């Protein structure tokens, strides 16, 4: 049975307005979902099996404010298998259910002194440094996806306004995708700075490409967990990333809940 058929069987008539992908540190959002239905990824054909600490591997369906939401607690990373299309089935499923907006979150490293650890950053654009695409193998002219304003300007403006209303500082910047799973070298961080990046990480870009191919509007936020290699004395590790993400989790999840609930969408009464 396809993931779409499973969801339609377990939640008849459920049509999400917004899909949310939760990265490290953002998991507290699930506590804000009203009347949630939880479905393990193992029951959804084509959904990723969680292999990364901090990713629980569940789909949550419910409501936030006026919106119906589908929230993924955990994602597939390219570094897990080498393939970069691991999120294709989930995003295709949400699109088929009627979803129009994808909200992405991640944990990232800062390469700018003005964006310190435990900051929150709104992604304005990205650098696809591996030059890998989840659209390889697709047919037809639709595969030539325009990436200007890939991170929707209207949604970004709303997020900034909501953050200001709740007294939450929200930086803006360019996210550079490194393939991983190893952390970047100091030389690679210097390269990212020269190329105009403000933060670096190992996710998000393939999902954005897939979402734009499907016609979904994209909003993305980073939780800054560390400075890039060579920019501080801290020793980078996944455990350190999770520790820093946890320290800022309540604040990040609270802002995300306000943003998701407060977005004004054309298809929402």
Closest CA to 42 of 28, 21, 62, 56: 56
From 119, 133, 203, 249, the catalytic residue: 203
Is 249 labeled as catalytic in the residue annotation?
no
For the question of residue 19 being annotated catalytic, the response is: no
Catalytic residue among 107, 121, 192, 227: 107
Which one of the listed residues 3, 55, 87, 188 is annotated catalytic? 55
Q: Which of 226, 227, 229, 253 is catalytic?
A: 226
Tell whether the torsion through CA atoms of 25, 31, 32 and 38 is positive or negative.
positive
Active site residue 202: yes
CB of 103 closer than 8 Å to CB of 220: yes
Assess contact for 177 and 126: CB atoms under 8 A: yes
Q: Nearest CA to 120 among 177, 172, 173, 170?
A: 170
Cis, peptide link before residue 181, omega less than 30° from 0: yes
Catalytic residue among 79, 128, 191, 247: 79
Annotation marks residue 41 as catalytic: no
Distance separating alpha carbons of residues 127 and 173, to the nearest angstrom: 11
Q: Is 55 a catalytic residue?
A: yes
Which listed residue (238, 240, 247, 261) is catalytic? 238
58 is an active site residue? no
Token pair belonging to 25: 């540190």
- Which residue in 34, 32, 59, 29 sits closest to 44, CA to CA? 59
> Which residue is catalytic, options 3, 11, 19, 24?
24
203 labelled catalytic: yes
Catalytic residues, by residue number, are 24, 55, 77, 79-80, 107, 202-203, 226, 238
């Amino acid at each position: 049975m396809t993931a779409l058929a499973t969801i339609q069987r377990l939640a008849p008539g459920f049509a999400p307005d917004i899909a949310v992908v939760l990265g490290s540190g953002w998991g507290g959002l699930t506590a804000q979902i009203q009347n949630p239905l939880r479905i393990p990824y193992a029951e959804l054909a084509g959904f990723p099996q969680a292999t990364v600490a901090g990713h629980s591997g569940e789909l949550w369906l419910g409501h936030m404010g006026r919106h119906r939401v589908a929230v993924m607690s955990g994602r597939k990373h390219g570094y897990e298998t080498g393939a970069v299309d691991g999120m294709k089935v989930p995003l295709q499923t949400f699109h088929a259910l009627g979803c129009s907006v994808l909200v992405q979150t991640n944990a990232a490293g800062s390469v700018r002194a003005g964006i310190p650890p435990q900051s929150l950053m709104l992604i304005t654009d990205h650098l696809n440094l591996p030059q890998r695409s989840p659209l390889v193998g697709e047919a037809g002219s639709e595969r030539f996806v325009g990436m200007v304003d890939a991170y929707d300007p209207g949604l970004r403006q709303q997020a900034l306004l909501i953050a200001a209303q709740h007294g939450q500082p929200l930086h803006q910047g360019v996210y550079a995708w490194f393939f991983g799973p190893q952390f970047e070298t100091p030389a690679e961080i210097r390269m990212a700075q020269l190329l105009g990046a403000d933060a670096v990480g190992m996710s998000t870009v393939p999902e954005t490409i897939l979402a734009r191919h499907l016609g979904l509007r994209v909003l993305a936020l980073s939780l800054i967990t560390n400075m890039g290699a060579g920019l501080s004395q801290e020793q980078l590790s996944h455990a350190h990333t999770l520790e820093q993400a946890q320290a800022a989790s309540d604040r990040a999840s609270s802002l995300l809940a306000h943003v998701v609930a407060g977005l004004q969408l054309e298809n929402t009464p």
